[in-house]
Amino acid sequence: MYGELYQYFIQYRRLHMPGIGTFLLERKPAVSDFPNRIINPPTFHIALQQSSNGSPGNDFYRWLAQHLRISERDAVVRFNDFIFQMKRDLQEGHSIQWNGVGVISRGLANEIKFDPDTDSIPPEQPVKAEKVIREKAEHTVRVGESEKTSAQMIELLKQPEVRKSHWWAWALIIGLLLVMFLGWYFSVYGIRPSSTGNSQKISPVESGTPYRQP
């Protein structure tokens, strides 16, 4: 029955064996190796979680019955007999070599010891991870609360910058200079009306001897 249980374990990655524990097929995700430009494949590790509460469900006995081509009731009986014999062998000090899973034995404190088979699941080959640069490939870019394509962003960046007119700044400067000049002028000459006119007196020119007709 070791072969059938191994198939179930590889397919569902979990196998409850009462009185021994729960076998778990742990998967470690793929790891990127940027210096070597490769992605290392995921790896698998078999572990034994010792717990007396684990027991197979109805789906397990249904699966086992289909593979052994027997009824579900006979599958329950055969599996319990298998577990009983397995625990008896361990109690007598025998080690159980389960091909593809590992070695199961009893420790000095009567605990279950498990040495996983590291070569049971051969690792996959790493794959190349070279960056592919596609020219003129469009992708979505988030700008504020909206999304735009890379082509739209390029067109927006190509638009000429609109120069802003600063005529009001020059008008403000000229106005300030005029106010400063008027302030200086009135502080020197006062604000009398005569100060804005020509203060030079004009004398009338005396006319010559009038012409007399003979």
Find how far residue 43's CA is from the centre of its chain: 23
Contacts of 48 (CB under 8 A, 6+ apart): 20, 21, 22, 23, 24, 104, 112, 114, 116
- What mean pLDDT is predicted for residues 141-152? 64
Angle at 88 between CA 19 and CA 57, to 5 degrees: 35
pTM of the model: 0.54
Unique residue bearing structure tokens 């789906």: 59
Q: Show me where the domains of the chain are located.
A: 2-128
**Each residue of 98-136: pLDDT tens digit?**
998 999 999 888 889 999 887 656 556 666 666 655 555
**Each residue of 28-81: pLDDT tens digit?**
776 676 676 667 666 778 899 887 566 788 999 999 999 999 999 999 999 999
pLDDT of 211 reads 47
Q: Both tokens of residue 77? A: 């009986």
Q: What share of the chain is helix, strand, coil (3-state, %, to 5)?
A: 35, 20, 40
**Each residue of 150-170: pLDDT tens digit?**
666 666 666 665 566 677 778
Q: Where is pLDDT greater, at 210 or 33?
A: 33
d(CA 128, CA 125): 10
